[in-house]
Structure 1
Amino acid sequence: MGPGRNLRKKRKRENMKKKKSEAASGSSQSGDWFDEFCKRGNGHFPSKNGLEEFQSIFGISKRTFDYVCSLVKEDIMAKPANLVFRNGSPLSLHDQVAVALRRLSSGDSLIAVGDSLGLSHSTVSQATWRFIEAMEERASHHLLWPSTTMEMANTKSKFEKMCGLPNCCGAIAFTRIWMNLSTSDPNSILWLDHEKRYSMVLQAIVDPDMRFQDIVTGWPGGKMNRWSVFQNSGFYQLCNQGERLNGNALELLDGSKVREYVVGDSGYQLLPYLITPYEGKEFSGPRSEFNRRLMAAAGVAERALTRLKDSWRIIRGVMWRPDRQRLPRIILVCCLLHNIVIDMEDEVQDKTTVSCPHESGCPQQTCGVGDMKGASLRDRLCLHLSGGPPP
């Protein structure tokens, strides 16, 4: 009797160990994983069916979710962690990704996410940071400046088809991530603007499909406007060194040539490679039409930032005393997820509603300084679009 009982106990321990291993690796996940996940929600999740419910909870489709899991699997599984639900069962790979996406897409607090899923707030925090670290390592290829002539040609072609601007390589825009900081922190004043609000900046250069091609974040929004952020960016340095926007010039029908450039609003300085609108109230027809077309192109970046904040709501509202060293990493991963949704041709992208401008309540700033080479390029573009004499 004794040996038989010991053998059964041994087999039971081995089976339990196997189940935990399968759960941790995600190999036991099947079609019922999402059902089990929703059951833990205790009625906190929307009452919808199938894929629609999945998308409403995570902000991405099931297919994109599976792809994200495949990206981070190696890194997450290589770092053992004792992450468990309150009932003691371990979090699988799918569970960890789901927890992180729920936190990023809902913007709910660690406690709220934990309560809705049967987790402690520390488990939510750990799962989210494991995911963020893995995404930084494994998903960086989804946010890159075009590296081939074909990729850049595709970008230029789409911009020209959209608004008529030839040889345009991107649109630049700027937003703030709002924060609530402790006034007892002596460094908090650096993040405070003239309206007594704390923020961190995000500068983005976007392609015609609203994909982020280049971002800058981490600077204090209280002391830096969009132009000062641009001047301190790596993109600015690369352009000045001739290592970015350095492709072939395009010859127009009149024989003049235009170099590669990006477009932005009047908050940026007019440069040989950054084209901004004509300023003033009284315009000739050609200048007015040029401004309309340029702002149509620049508006792509504005819409991308609005969609980013609407989809990944952790950066949409006012963040309660965030870790300012970690916040740029959160912003980066939200941008990576934004691009992945586009790259995967995720149907959720088309259903995302735009709630409000990403910079609601912020006055438009005008840089008011121009560069002669930039002015010459702008005039050539204006002439090209009007098909008439110089403006």
Structure 2
Amino acid sequence: MGPVRGNKKKRKVENKAEEKSLVSGSSEEGSVDWWDVLSRKITGDPSSSHGLEFKYTFKMSRKTFDYICSLVKDHMTAKTHFAFISGNPMSLHDQVALALRRLGSGNSLISIGDSFGTHHSTVSQVTWRFVEAIEEKGLHHLQWPSQQEMTKIKSEFENIRGLPNCCGAIDTTHITMLLTSSDQEADTWLDRKNNHSMILQAIVDPALRFRDIVAGWPGKMNDASVLQSSNVFKQCQKGEKLNRNKISETGIREYIVGDSGFPLLPWLVTPYQGKELSENKAELNERIIATHSVADKALKRLKEGWKMIKGDMWRPDKHKLPRFILVCCILHNIVIDMEDHVFEELPEHDPGYREEICECVDRAGLMLRDKLAMLFSGR
């Protein structure tokens, strides 16, 4: 039996180290103890033997979290060093956890600051530093597909409901805001549901990755207007995108699918309108709707995973908000790229907003849609 005095002395040293860790909210960078300590702090019970589950808290694995830390490390450690109210410095992991909690929970700056043991201004500054870092280092996770990637995407879309040469699905969602009457620009942001909102337009692949996004336009704009104001519209109209290959047997070119709120264009296929449709037109509509559902699901998953942009945001900086939205979309893609399991309980992403009907029809778009309908004639 070893000396009792020595054990007691060792135990005192361990207890002091643990107390110090609980005060600061962190321990060894990247260690298991780091999260054990911080999670108990967030729950408000540092003495508890059980903290929050990591994946439940951040909706990503520890592997993905560590990867994100590696992306932002240089940017987040190069400038001002942040600290807890206790005066203890925040580690890189503490800062990333703080920013992800802010973006993922949608809780207020004060609430998150209280749970982490820091001032709400620190929450704001750390989160913005994180946004800048992801913009700088993570943008390669949100890019238009290469030719090789597009070949795979087309095959995966065709596997959904048989649409050949389909390259993406496009949809929009509203990021709602709470603006005060003192805001001189408040009326600019009023949408058709009488909410203040900002629109996010996204083109999505079959794996629910965002391949192109547009954020920043007022919610009063309709889907067609947002599309026509975007770079992707200009590029597609010029043939710089969605013009690589035609199917030789049918002449069907590359295109994306949208709902009835979008215009029918040479590279954008929307459903036929009307109740009494021919069998092949009705069949094509079903296939378009089923294929387009990936965009709807991606936006649901985005808002469920990054709740800062799900609820009514209190007086956000409207110049910074598009950058927050972009970063949430990049993080959404990173989780997919890292092959993380994602929670499947997905509520509506735009509750209360009824589908719009766009009357804009391009002749070449009509011809493309009719060619697609003929493919399914008699099936």
TM-score calculated relative to the size of structure 1: 0.87
Deviates more, 1:224-233 or 1:284-293: 284-293
Distance 1:48 1:182, change over 3 A: farther
Give the equivalent residue in structure 2 for 1:77. Answer: 77
Cα deviations by residue, 1:275-301 (Å, 9 ceiling, x for unpaired):
000000111221111100101111110
1:1-391 superposed matches below 5 A: 28-43=29-44, 53-79=53-79, 81-147=80-146, 149-222=147-220, 224-251=221-248, 255-347=249-341, 349=342, 351-354=343-346, 356-386=347-377
- SS for the counterpart of 2:376 is helix
Cα deviations by residue, 1:68-100 (Å, 9 ceiling, x for unpaired):
001101111122x23111111100000000000
- SS for the counterpart of 1:114 is helix
Question: Structure 1 residue 160: deviation in Å?
Answer: 0.3
Distance 1:87 1:42, change over 3 A: farther
Question: Structure 1 residue 29: deviation in Å?
Answer: 3.6
- SS for the counterpart of 1:250 is coil
- SS for the counterpart of 2:32 is coil
Q: Is the 8 A contact 1:200 1:217 kept in 2?
A: yes
Q: Is the 8 A contact 2:172 2:200 kept in 1?
A: yes
Distance 1:41 1:308, change over 3 A: same
TM-score calculated relative to the size of structure 2: 0.90
Distance 1:44 1:112, change over 3 A: farther
Q: Is the 8 A contact 1:164 1:385 kept in 2?
A: no
Give the letter for the 2:246 counterpart: A
Give the equivalent residue in structure 2 for 1:11. Answer: none
In structure 2, runs of 5+ residues without a counterpart are: 1-19
- SS for the counterpart of 1:258 is coil
Distance in 2 (alpha carbons) for counterparts of 1:59 and 1:49:
18
Question: Structure 1 residue 368: deviation in Å?
Answer: 1.7
Q: What CA RMSD, in Å, does the superposition of the two structures yield over aligned residues? A: 2.1
Deviates more, 1:360-369 or 1:312-321: 360-369
Question: Structure 1 residue 363: deviation in Å?
Answer: 1.7
Distance 1:48 1:136, change over 3 A: farther
Q: Is the 8 A contact 1:201 1:219 kept in 2?
A: yes
- 4+ aligned runs moved over 3 Å, structure 1: 25-29, 42-45, 47-50
Deviates more, 1:35-44 or 1:105-114: 35-44
Give the equivalent residue in structure 1 for 2:17. Answer: none
Q: Is the 8 A contact 2:40 2:50 kept in 1?
A: no
- SS for the counterpart of 1:38 is helix
- SS for the counterpart of 2:214 is strand
Distance in 2 (alpha carbons) for counterparts of 1:386 and 1:273:
22
Distance in 2 (alpha carbons) for counterparts of 1:49 and 1:370:
59
Question: Structure 1 residue 43: deviation in Å?
Answer: 3.2
Give the letter for the 1:30 counterpart: S
Q: Is the 8 A contact 1:171 1:262 kept in 2?
A: yes
Distance in 2 (alpha carbons) for counterparts of 1:48 and 1:216:
45
Question: Structure 1 residue 61: deviation in Å?
Answer: 1.1
Q: Is the 8 A contact 1:136 1:333 kept in 2?
A: yes
Deviates more, 1:224-233 or 1:184-193: 184-193
Cα deviations by residue, 1:297-337 (Å, 9 ceiling, x for unpaired):
11110110011001100000100000001100110010001
Distance in 1 (alpha carbons) for counterparts of 2:78 and 2:101:
23
Distance in 1 (alpha carbons) for counterparts of 2:96 and 2:282:
49
Deviates more, 1:189-198 or 1:209-218: 189-198
Distance 1:371 1:48, change over 3 A: farther
Cα deviations by residue, 1:12-48 (Å, 9 ceiling, x for unpaired):
xxxxxxx9xxx9x997442211011113214389x99
Give the letter for the 1:353 counterpart: E
